[in-house]
Chain A
Amino acid sequence: MASAAVPLERENYLNKEYGIGSWLLTTDHKRIALLYLLSITFFFFIGGFFALLIRLELLTPAGDLVQADTYNKLFTMHGQVMVFFFLIPSVPAVLGNFLIPIMIGAKDLAFPRINLLSWYLYAIGGLFMLYTIVNGGVDTGWTFYTPLSSQFLDTQVVAAALAIFIAGFSSILTGLNFIVTVHRMRAPGMTWSRLPLFVWANYATAIIQVLGTPVLAITLMLVALERIFRLGIFDPQRGGDPLLFQHLFWFYSHPAVYIMILPGMGVVNEIVPCFSRKRVFGYRFMALAVIAIAVLGFLVWAHHMFVAGISLYAAMVFSLLSYFVAVPSAIKVFNWTATMYKGSVSFDTPMLYALGFIGLFMMGGLTGLFVAALGIDVHVHDTYFVVAHFHYIMVGGMVIAYLAGIHFWWPKISGRMYPEFWGKLAAMIIFVGFNLTFFPQFVLGYLGMPRRYWQYSPEFQVLNVFSTAGATILAVGYLLPMAYLLWSMRYGKIAGDNPWNAAGLEWTISSPPTTFNFDETPIVTHEAYNYGEIDQPKEVPVER
């Protein structure tokens, strides 16, 4: 027993039952969220380990740490693990699973057993991925382009495709669950216009998951069938078109990047008003913007194929459409800023991360416009410019938003506060490390350093060294929360129900919540971010 006096705990979802069986057979959305938290953290470190090896190799222009084929495997598996086993599940499967039922006033998701099935599918997909890694790896690039993947490699292409196929079903079922839950399980009074924007964002994400992922599934199946049965669908010598693979692959994989970023925007939507003590500026537009991003995101996929051999006219159409999809994102950035304007801003750890997100996402998003321009893309396609662009959004945006959410809702999930000093320190180390890692890559790409190359021209070395230095700082920054969050579960300050004095149904229940969340179904009577009322409650007139 700890030496500090531990107050007698009420029954909550963590202590209700003990034993590994009660976790592996749970249907409680909160426990499933924690199962995901553990597994995606595990894969994050595997993907991060590959990244470390990549950056170590790139310290010197010569290919001297690993062989060329090994390097191909490193960047391939870094991408696959990070995209499919960390980023795509991250916020929806951890924070979404935990919070969505509570935020809408429900006792669980619509289909709790399918929720558990989702996690098992993720875990099984993860096992296939581990099998792939251990048995020689795969070196197609995370994009699996044909005919390289379908005909010319003898690495674990089928195993990797299977791993992602299975994990894809996990994603589809989670999306299905969220859609039905938001439509059918809202508490009385919780109208669509009172929904927290976090729920809107995950709902929009769920739409993408449900409509896009099946196309990835069939595409990977076709590649696997081509390899196993030597079919010829993508073989130019037998009438096939390798670009067909790219069309089908990117039909999912472009919207997939919105699967990855929208939940992060949802997190920021909750944090910014709380730490500005102000309602969200333009709630309606914020909600419509996430839906617009989800829809428009499906219309732009061939901007990944501008130099692959598609028709110039199609390229122009996709380039134009790609500009449209930037508009709703820009609206969101403006509205976050307007929310903070004349607010009472405080800089707790979640807000530091949220501010980092807004700035870095903006840079990543703006550079997306650069590459959406046909002429510029011809120059920077397949260079480090593109690598920097998507890492600004995925890491500077999404990973930081994920950490923001973990810190913001940590008191609710665990009942404890993390140590604020270490939280702020880690946030700043991550910010510095991130920029040092990836800003030089914009320059490198523009100067012409190609991506996926294991050797490079000596004039690029200085910037590569900066980048690797940044990566090590970033790694330290990521390890810190692991350490202090674990520490806090035992020694952290007891959080109380609402340490942030935040709006939202999740802050009205105990920390940690009970298994069924609410003793009585809440009835909602006010808008989502009523910070004005929370901070200055109207005086109730005394009855005479």
Chain B
Amino acid sequence: MSGHIATKRLYVSVWIALMCLTVATAAVSRIELGHFNIVLALLIATCKASLVALFFMGVKYISNKMTIVVIVAGLFWLGILLSLSMTDYLTRPWT
């Protein structure tokens, strides 16, 4: 981030995309799609989050690879917490 200077146009474009994705997720939620609702909602949320992270937070332009490792590690660890706890709750009905 410290090095690269994004254009105002880039930021506004990202903002427009974020607005569209918000409208999309709000609209889709009003339609009954069963299990697909949550999948779609999280997918859209992740797209929005990626836009914010890559462009507003400058992750796309980070020169220091360690910072990328730090971010990926954080997300991966959250994944460990979520997935390993679910091994208990998902398999309880089996016993």
A130 sits at the interface (CB 8 A): no
Indicate if A311 sits at the interface (CB-CB under 8 A). yes
Tell me how far the C-beta of B78 lies from the nearest C-beta in chain A, rounded to whole angstroms.
9
By the criterion CB–CB under 8 Å, are A215 and B66 in contact? no
Q: B66 to A299, Cβ gap below 8 A?
A: no
Mark contacts of B35-71 with chain A using CB atoms, 8 A cut-off: 1 yes-contact digit, 0 otherwise. Answer: 0000000000000000000000000000000100000
Determine whether the beta carbon of B66 is less than 8 Å from that of A211: no
Whether B84 pairs with A313 at a CB distance below 8 angstroms is no
| Interface pick from B9-17, B20-28, B87-95 | B87-95
A314 near B91 with CB under 8 A, answer yes
Interface string of A175-186 (1 = CB under 8 A from B): 000000001000
Tell me if A251 is interfacial: C-beta within 8 Å of chain B. yes
Pick the contact of B84: A183, A211, A299 (CB < 8 A): A299
Q: Quick check: is B33 within 8 A (CB to CB) of the other chain?
A: no
Report which of B77, B88, B91 forms a contact with A211, defined as CB distance below 8 A: B77
User: Chain A 296-333 against B: per-residue CB contact (8 Å), 1 yes, 0 no?
Assistant: 00110110000000111110011000000000000000
Give chain A's interface secondary structure class.
helix
Other-chain contact of A247, B66, B85, B91, B95 (Cβ < 8 Å): B85
Which residue of chain A lies nearest to B85 when distances are taken between CB atoms in the complex? A247
User: Contact residue range for chain B?
Assistant: 10 to 19
Contacts A298-B80, A299-B80, A313-B94 given; indicate if A247 touches B88 (C-beta within 8 A).
Answer: yes
Cβ contact within 8 Å between A312 and B88: no
Look across to chain A and name the residue whose beta carbon is closest to the beta carbon of B87: A314
A187 at the interface (CB under 8 A from B): no
Of the listed residues B66, B81, B88, B92, the one surrounded by the most CB atoms of chain A closer than 10 A to its CB is B88
**A220-245: which residues lie under 8 A (CB-CB) from chain B?**
243
A378 to chain B, nearest CB (A): 15
Complex interface: chain A residues within 8 A of B72 (CB): none
Contact of A313 among B80, B81, B87 (CB under 8 A): B87
Given contacts A183-B66, A247-B85, A299-B84, contact A311 B77 (CB under 8 A): no
Known A-B contacts A314-B87, A317-B87; the reply to A251 vs B66 at CB < 8 A is no
A311 with B88: CB separation less than 8 A: yes
Q: Are A310 and B81 neighbours in the complex by a CB distance under 8 Å? A: no
Query: A215–B89 Cα gap in the complex (Å)?
Result: 19
Q: What residues of chain A lie closer than 8 Å to B85, measured between beta carbons?
A: 247, 251
A211, B87: Cα distance in complex, Å: 21
Most buried by B among A299, A302, A314, A317: A314
Closest approach, in angstroms, between the C-beta of A308 and any C-beta of chain B? 10
| Nearest CB of B to A141, in Å | 21
Cβ-defined partner of A312 (8 Å) among B66, B73, B81, B95: B95
**Once the chains bind, are A243 and B80 in contact (CB under 8 Å)?**
no
Contact, CB under 8 Å: B81 / A314: no
Q: Is the CB of A311 within 8 A of B94?
A: yes
Bound: A311/B84 CA distance, A: 12
With contact pairs A183-B66, A211-B74 given, residues A311 and B81 touching in the complex (Cβ less than 8 Å) = no
A369 to B82, CA, bound (A): 26
B80 CB contacts on chain A under 8 angstroms? 298-299
Smallest CB-CB separation from B66: which chain A residue? A183
With both beta carbons as reference points, the residue of chain A lying nearest to B86 in the complex is identified as A314
Q: How far is the CA of A481 from the CA of B94 in the complex (A)?
A: 56
Give Cα A525–Cα B7 distance, bound, in whole angstroms.
45
Interface residues of A in 432-489 (CB under 8 A from B): none
Q: Is the CB of A311 within 8 A of B73?
A: no
Shortest CB-to-CB span from B82 to chain A, Å, is 10
Residues of chain B contacted by A243 (CB below 8 angstroms): 88
Are B92 and A311 in contact (CB-based, < 8 A)? yes
| Contact indicator A251/B81 (Cβ below 8 Å) | yes
The residue on B at minimum CB distance from A308 is B88
- Contact at B73–A211, with CB atoms within 8 Å? yes
- A315 to nearest B CB, angstroms? 8
Known: A247-B85, A299-B84. A313 touches B77 (CB 8 A): no
Distance in Å: Cβ of B34 to nearest Cβ of chain A: 23
A-B contact pairs, 18 of them (CB 8 A): A211-B74, A247-B85, A247-B88, A251-B81, A251-B85, A301-B84, A311-B87, A311-B88, A311-B89, A311-B91, A311-B92, A311-B94, A312-B91, A312-B95, A313-B87, A313-B91, A313-B95, A314-B87
Q: Which 5 A-B pairs have the closest CB atoms?
A: A314-B88, A311-B91, A313-B91, A311-B92, A314-B87
Interface residues in chain A, defined as those with a beta carbon under 8 Å from any beta carbon in chain B: 183, 207, 211, 215, 243, 247, 251, 298-299, 301-302, 310-314, 317-318
Given contacts A211-B77, A298-B80, A311-B95, 16 further A-B pairs with CB under 8 A are: A211-B74, A251-B81, A298-B77, A299-B80, A299-B84, A301-B84, A302-B88, A310-B92, A311-B88, A312-B91, A312-B95, A313-B87, A313-B91, A314-B87, A317-B84, A317-B87
